[in-house]
Amino acid sequence: MIAKRELLPLSELATKSDAELLDLLNEYLGWTVRGLVGAAEVVTLLDGRGVDLSGINKTILGYLRKIASGQLHPQLLVGWRELPVYNHARTLPMLNQQEVVDNKPIRVVTMKEGGGADAWLCEPRSMTGATAKQVFARDHIRDEGEQIAWLRGQVKPETKPDPLPYTIQGRAVVFNRACRLTLKDLKALVKAISES
C-alpha cells in the first residue's frame, strides 16, 4: 500500500486556519492527481494483459486511458472539469494543456469598432466559454492573427430575410416563384385568405 498521511477528522479540520485549510486542500487534490496517474498506469497494464474492465465506469476508463497515453493532463480533471475552458483545453497537445493547468495568461484579441484589434492577457481559469472557443483551436492555442481571422469569420453579414414565395392579394394567392408547401402551410394560406 502507498504510504500517505491519513485524512484528518472534521473536528480537527475545524481547528485549522484558512491558510492551513488551503494548504491541506492542495495536498488532498495532489493525492487525487497522483491517484489518477497511478490508476491510468494500472489500467494500461490490465489492458495489456487482456483483463476484462467492463465493471469499471466507461467514462472514467476513457479518461484514464487518455491520461496514460499522454493525451489528457490529469489536473484538468481535478479543479478544471466544470470550467468553460475544459472542453477546449482537453484536446490540446500536452505542452499547451500544461500551460492551461499552470493558469498561464494567454493573449486574447478584441476587435475595435474601426476594424483594428486590441489584445489583453487572460488567465485560462477566468475565460468564458466564448473566449475559450476563440482562443483554443482543436490542436493549438491560436495566436493573435488566427484569433482575428477567427473573429472576422464569426461576423455574419446582415441579410434580409428571404421574402415569402407568394403574396396574398385580396382573396387570391400570387406565387412569385416555385415553392414547396406543406399541408400546414396550405392551411395557413387558406386562413390568411379567409381573414383578408
- For 13-54, the pLDDT digits (tens) are 889 898 888 888 878 877 888 889 999 999 999 999 999 999
Cell numbers representing residue 117 in the block = 484589434
* The predicted structure's pLDDT at residue 171: 78
Q: Is the pTM of this model over 0.75?
A: no
Q: Would you call 71 helix, strand, or coil by DSSP?
A: coil
* The predicted structure's pLDDT at residue 4: 59
Cα 29 to Cα 9, 22, 86, 178, 194, distances in angstroms: 17, 11, 17, 65, 70
CB–CB of 65/43 below 8 Å?
yes
* The predicted structure's pLDDT at residue 99: 95
d(CA 94, CA 103): 14
* The predicted structure's pLDDT at residue 1: 44
The stretches in the chain having pLDDT less than 70 are: 1-5, 155-162, 196
CB–CB of 119/145 below 8 Å?
no
How big is the CA angle at 76 (ends 75 and 82), to the nearest 5 degrees? 130
